[in-house]
Structure 1
Amino acid sequence: MAARGLLTILLALLVSGTHQATFTFKNNCRYTVWPGTLTGAGSTQLSSTGFKLDSGESSSLVAQPPWSGRFWGRTLCSTTTTNSFKCATGDCASGDIACKGAGAIPPAALIEFTLAINGSNDFYDISLVDGFNLPMSVTPQGGNSSCQSTSCPADVNLMCPPELDVKGPNGEIVACKSACEAFADPKYCCTGSYGSPSTCKPTTYSMIFKKLCPQAYSYAYDDKTSTFTCNGANNYLITFCP
């Protein structure tokens, strides 16, 4: 009886410290965006892995913590003559609007989240480690004074070096590769002998991303200025083209 009573108390404490979080996606771009979602291992799958947002539209998903995963925006999407869905940037190669457990094909800007339980902090960031395709921001709503917004509001495509740019069907620049993807060099990828914070440093290319989006990850070990925490937020507003 005593053991059962202790178990009941522990379960009550666990539930009382757990709060669900809503992710609200808003498209402020002048064009349609197809958000993609990828849930990390061990987390409860979200109700959607990909959907369409016309300009000015909003949509929401609810996550039950503990949850981790990432979000991104796909652009210039269409259905081919063989009824396969495909996007010029951020495509997840599922052949459908739903990504079905597949992640974004670089280059794509990512929003990464870890939702905690029992009063711990949530962690979130915007990452350009896999390149850039469109501006985005994260704004916590609710929570304590530690909760801050983070954003990559600049259109990095406008300043993308020619050796990194990705052109769309009409010759326009639609995305900007990371130097790692473009050159597969360990010094850009933070791999091999460059696989630690002491050996992998900012490069000329990563500094272009950092100058335009100082709050976003520009390379793998860009933690100090790019990881954000929040305690108690019940909603995170994710805006494309903030």
Structure 2
Amino acid sequence: MDNGVLFLTFLLAHFVAGAYSTTFTFTNKCNYTVWAGTLSGSGSPPLSQTGFQLNQGVSTSLAAPVGWSGRFWGRTHCSSDSAGKFKCATGDCGKGSIPCSGAGAIPPATLVEFTLGKNGGQDFYDTSLVDGYNLPFSVGPQGGTGNCRTSGCPSDLNAVCPPELQLTGSNGSIIGCKSACEAFGDPKYCCTGDYGSPTTCKPTNYSKIFKKACPLAYSYAYDDASSTFTCTGANYALTFCP
């Protein structure tokens, strides 16, 4: 094999290693518009869109490369002011625009988190209420092998949110449910300080409300056993208000 062929073989292998292998399809089944947000984890490239509008009944897809990690969420009650600054009442990323451009969700927000496998390895995914809740959100593998379960928080947690955790909109309606950590800043709710380990940070009355409403989602920082799922070689359907 001559040097030219060797070089082309190297380029092809490099391309395949960085190829886009997983498709995320977002669908809005809510009876209102949702603005999706995406944030890549450390060392992962941003996806082609870091924020986009999804009208009721609309779907759109994004491709992610091998080994990508990051999170997705929905923003609600969004509008632009007279100066063109975009802002949302829940899940806002603070950029003043529809793209989040490297910024995450301001709590409370329902999060879906992914770490995609490398070299045929497993994908890991979960739905997290550690930063609170703003709307129902589910994640369902399409194809793939292994214990590929649908996860998420399809329930209306706002309907059972305790008054002290409620985020209300301009008309007084409940539009989000804060985590106890955000609401009170107490280490026992935040799993910090003396509570910064699985042995010292346990479920609280507040996290139990979240877990009862959404048993497949993270209700607090160390809620791993029943909240993290795996699948190999799948694409994923992400649905707001499933």
State the match for 1:236 in structure 2.
236
d(CA) in 1 for partners of 2:156, 2:109: 13
User: Which TM-score applies when normalising by structure 2?
Assistant: 0.93
Say if 1:112 and 1:124, in contact at 8 Å, map to a contact too.
yes
The alpha-carbon deviation at position 17 of structure 1 amounts to 10
The answer on whether the counterparts of 1:17 and 1:119 sit within 8 Å (CA) in structure 2 is no
CA contact (8 A) 1:36 1:49 kept: yes
The CA distance in 2 between the partners of 1:167 and 1:100, in whole Å, is 27
Identity %: 66
Q: Is the 8 A contact 2:39 2:104 kept in 1?
A: yes
- Name the structure 2 match of 1:27: 28
- Matched to 2:82, the amino acid is T
1:135: which partner in 2?
Answer: 136
Please tell me whether the aligned partners of residues 126 and 218 of structure 2 are also in contact (alpha carbons under 8 angstroms): yes
Matched, 1:67 2:59: no
Task: Please give the residue correspondences for 1:190-229 in structure 2 after superposition, counting only pairs within 5 Å.
Answer: 190-229=191-230
Structure 2 partner of 1:120: 121
Deviations, residues 175-194 of structure 1 (Å, cap 9, x unaligned): 00000000000000000010
Q: 1:30 to 1:80 in 2, by over 3 A?
A: same
Structure 2 gaps of 5+ residues are none
* Kept in 2: contact 1:156–1:212 (CA 8 A): yes
* Aligned partner letter, 1:102: A
Residue identity in the other structure for 1:61: L
Aligned residues: 239
Gap runs ≥5 in structure 1 = none
C-alpha distance in 2, partners of 1:160/1:28?
A: 22
Letter in 2 for 1:241: C
SS at match of 1:200: coil
| Helix, strand or coil at the partner of 1:20 | strand
Q: In the alignment, which residue of structure 1 is the partner of 2:159?
A: 158
CA contact (8 A) 1:109 1:127 kept: yes
Aligned to 2:87: 86
Give how far 1:151 is off: 1.9
Instruction: Return the alpha-carbon distance in structure 1 between the equivalents of residues 168 and 118 of structure 2.
Output: 43
How large is the Cα RMSD of the aligned pairs? 2.2
Whole-Å Cα distance in 1 between the matches of residues 100 and 92 of structure 2?
Answer: 9
d(CA) in 1 for partners of 2:80 and 2:15? 45
The one-letter code matched in structure 1 to 2:209 is I
TM-score (norm 1): 0.93
How many Å apart are 1:15 and its aligned residue? 3.9
Q: Matched residues in 1 for 2:39 and 2:184: separation?
A: 26
* Cα distance in 2 for residues equivalent to 1:81 and 1:18: 42
Distance 1:156 1:217, change over 3 A: same
Partner of 2:182: 181
